[in-house]
Structure 1
Amino acid sequence: MRPYLSIKTLSLSHLTAKQHLLMAISRDVSLLPPLAYSLTSCRKAWQLIHGDIANVKLYGPRPLKETIASFVNESALEGDGTLLESLTTARASEYLLCSLWCMVSLYLSYSILDSLMVRWIVKYSILAAIVRMFAMSLIIITLELILLASLSPKGDYYLHTWVLISCVLTGAYIWQSYITSNLNYGVRMGEREAQGSQHNYLKFSKKRTIDLYNITVFCVVPVGLASFITMIGLLRNLVIQRLDVEQLARMLRPLAQEGKPSEW
C-alpha cells in the first residue's frame, strides 16, 4: 500500500490545480449511478419499514370461496398490505442489501479508475490521461445502465443486478491490477551522495505480475464480506417467507375442510 501511495503522490505532483480538478471530476463521474441507486434503495427500504407495518391485513374466518377471491382481487395486486402481497414483494432488507452492493460497486469503480489514473499520468500527456479517464468512466456507466435496463426493466428491484455488476467490476479490478503492475517506484541517489540527496522516479518494467495480496485484501475481502451479509439476509427472508406460507396453509386448511363442492 505504501509504494502505491508514493507512486500516486509522485504522479499527481506534476498536475496543476485545474488539471487535478478535471481528473477528479472525470474519475468521480462513474460513481454517480451506484450512489444514486444506493440512495433510492435506502428510500424504498424506509418506505417499506414505515409504510407496510400499519397496513398489514390478515384474513379472518370466512367461506373458502371468499378467501380465495380476496387473494386474487385487484386491491391485493395494487398493494393493500395483504398476506399474499407480503409473499410476492421484496422486503426492506433486500433493498438495504442492494444499497450495500451499490457501495461495493462504487468502491471497485473508484479503485479501478484511481489505479489507471496513475498509470496514464505517467505514460501519456495530462490531456490524454483526462480524456482516457472520462472515457473509461462513461464505459463503466454505460455497462451499468445496460445491465440495469436488461435485468431490472421495471426498476423496482435490482439487487441481483448490482451483485452481477460488482462481480464484473471484480474481474475488471484483477485486470487493472495486472495491467498496472509494471509501474515501479524507485529512489536514485544524486550527485552528492555524501550528503544523501535522493531523487524519486517512476519507470515501467517489461514484466507484469499478479499481486495476490493486493487483490485479496482490497478486492476479494470487501466482495466476500458483502456476499456473507447478503447470504445471511436472504436466508432470514427465506425463513420468514416459509413462516408466512405455513400461516397461510393453517388458515386455509380448516376452510377447505368445511367447504363443500357446491360452494365452488
Structure 2
Amino acid sequence: MAFSLATWNINSVRLREELVQKLLREEGPDVLCLQECKSPVDKIPTQGFADLGYPYMVARGQKGYNGVAILSRLPIVEAGAEDFANLGHARHIAGRLENGVTVHNFYVPAGGDKPDREVNEKFGQKLDYLSEMRDWFKAEKPEKSILVGDLNIAPREDDVWDHKKMLKIVSHTPVEVDLLAEVQEAGGWADVTRADIPEGLLYSWWSYRAKDWDAADKGRRLDHVWATGDIRQAAHSSRVLRAARGWEKPSDHAPVFATFDL
C-alpha cells in the first residue's frame, strides 16, 4: 500500500481551517500531521475535514498554545502521547495505521530568542525536551515508524539562508544541531526529505517579519520527515509546498510531503 503524508505547522487550526481544507482538496495527502493547532481537541473543526474524506483524527490540544493533530483518511488509532521535560504542553501525539506503521507527530519547543539557558528558560526547556526525546527513543528502539513535525531546528548548512549568520541564532546553533543529531541516531531515524533532495538550499519556514518573504527568501528548514531504517527505502517523492506560504493569511510554515510504498 502506498500512502502520502504531509506535515504542517498550521499556526491555529481554527483560524486557518480553510487553508487546511484547501490543502486536503488540492493535494490530498492520506495523512496530514498538524502542529501548533492552538485549540483544545474538542474545538478542532473536524466536521469540515471529515466531509472532505478525513474522518479519522488523533490529537492532543490545549487552549491558545501548542497542540498536535493527525488527520487521516486511513483508519488510525492513538498510539501514545509523551510530555517530554514535563512541560505540560501538548507537543506529541502518535498514531498507528492499519499497516502497522506508527506516525509520531512532534512540535518541539521553539526555544526563545537567546541561545543561553542561563538567561533564557525557554532555551533550556528546548534542550531538555530534545534530551528526553533522545533517551526515550534510545530505550524504545522504534520500528516501522515515521517521525514528522516542526522540530524547530534547521540542521544543515543549506537548511538556512546564511549558515554563518545563523550560527548564533536559535534553531541553528551547534548545541541544537548536535542534540537533534543525537535524537536521530538514538531512534535510528533517516532524514527522508534530504535523502530525496540531497543538495541545495531547502526551507519550510519564512518569517512574518519580512516585507516580501518570497523575494527575501531568508528561510529555514524547521519541518521534517524521518523514517526508521527498516522503512526508509520505502520513502520517495519528498517536496515542500512553498506556494502555501503565499496563500491568503498563511501560516509562516509550508507543508512538507513524502510518499511511502508499504
Shorter-normalised TM range: under 0.3
> Over alpha carbons, which structure has the higher Rg?
1
Q: Which has the higher contact order (CA 8 A, sep 6+)?
A: 1
Q: Relative to total residues, which structure has the larger helix share, 1 or 2?
A: 1
Taking structure 2 as the reference length, the TM-score comes to 0.21
Taking structure 1 as the reference length, the TM-score comes to 0.21
